[in-house]
Structure 1
Amino acid sequence: MLAAVLDQFHKYWMLDVFGIEARQPVTLTPFLDVVLSWNYGVSYSLFPAHEDAGRALLLAGQGLIVAGLFWWMWRAPNRLTTLALGLVIGGALGNAADRLTRGAVADFFYLHTTLPVGPLANYVFNVADVAIAAGVALLLFESLFAPEPPAEGAAKA
């Protein structure tokens, strides 16, 4: 939940205090700017939904996914899994709150390059997306490097 709160606070600050819409772009590095981009779909603007019915379908889909992740988190075998799933859920809830209250997700960080390096050549994201990516990275780390739990019924030495 902390990820959702941080995401919503950042979006409030960028939109209503800093006023990014009137100040954009703000160049931070040669490859990173701060801008305002409204995402009406999901990742990479897939499945854009400009109408209420489409947004309702996206929110329903997000709700089902979040419910499944909550179930997984409830049954998580350790704290790392719980943390990772909490980040993914918090990020999803932060973006869902935007879709519900603003009609679209506000993205601010524009990562870009002139090299044709795939999807990150031009990528706009927000704090919620960072939380989701960090959670997924932790889940991948855990699946690759966590020790295997002992098998049930295994003989103890």
Structure 2
Amino acid sequence: MSTPLMRRPFSIGFLVLMLSLSADQLSKYWILYGLDLPDRVSVKVLPFLNFTMVWNHAVTFGMFGGLGNAGRVLFSVIALSVACGLLVWMARTPSKLTAACVGAITGGAIGNVIDRVRYGAVVDFIHAHAFGWSWYVFNVADSAIVCAVCVLVLQSVFSDRQQQAS
């Protein structure tokens, strides 16, 4: 008896990949061409949230930003290589939750690669701040990656606790 397509971990992971990639690219399109944020620079959304235009030529938190055009190619090749490895993990895992998380990470990584190829830099625009504290400006792809990694870590911690209790 075969399992329906959407009950297979890879199918769920691929769906999450496509959803996170689509949400990322649609939000960036709207930021660039609908809201015209590059010309407006920053727009207050809530007292603790702005849309602030940042072209990120580096990687996480601006690391390795001095590599110029070579960095764009290098970061894209590394991200696509990691995405390929993640697809293998997604295809092999029996866990639907793991597949969904890996799909979100892969979708986010591909979304940022598309930006590097298309614009030469990653489009970042979500700026959270409160009480004089300000977080780095990020995007939907970054959010998908961070949230999925947090869920994978929690899943691992709780899985380890269950195994130790057995």
Same fold (TM over 0.5): yes
The size of the alignment, in residue pairs, is 145
RMSD of Structure 2 on Structure 1 (CA): 1.9
SS at match of 2:65: coil
Q: Contact 2:58–2:71 (CA<8 Å) still a contact in 1?
A: no
Structure 2 equivalent of residue 135 of structure 1: 148
Give the Cα–Cα distance (whole angstroms) in 2 for the partners of residues 6 and 49 of structure 1: 29
Deviation, structure 1 residue 50: 6.0
Matching of residues 1-150 of structure 1 within 5 Å: 1-48=18-65, 51-115=68-132, 121-146=134-159, 147-148=162-163
SS at match of 1:108: strand
Structure 2 equivalent of residue 154 of structure 1: none
Q: After superposition, what is the alpha-carbon deviation per residue over 1:75-117, rounded to whole angstroms, capped at 9, x for unaligned?
A: 112100000000000000000100011000000111224556x
Structure (1 or 2) with the greater helix fraction: 2
TM-score norm. by structure 1 comes to: 0.83
TM-score norm. by structure 2 comes to: 0.79
Question: How much identity, in percent, do the aligned residues show?
Answer: 39
Structure 1 gap segments, 5+ residues each: 149-157
Give the Cα–Cα distance (whole angstroms) in 2 for the partners of residues 49 and 58 of structure 1: 12
Give the Cα–Cα distance (whole angstroms) in 2 for the partners of residues 80 and 139 of structure 1: 8
Give the Cα–Cα distance (whole angstroms) in 2 for the partners of residues 20 and 6 of structure 1: 18
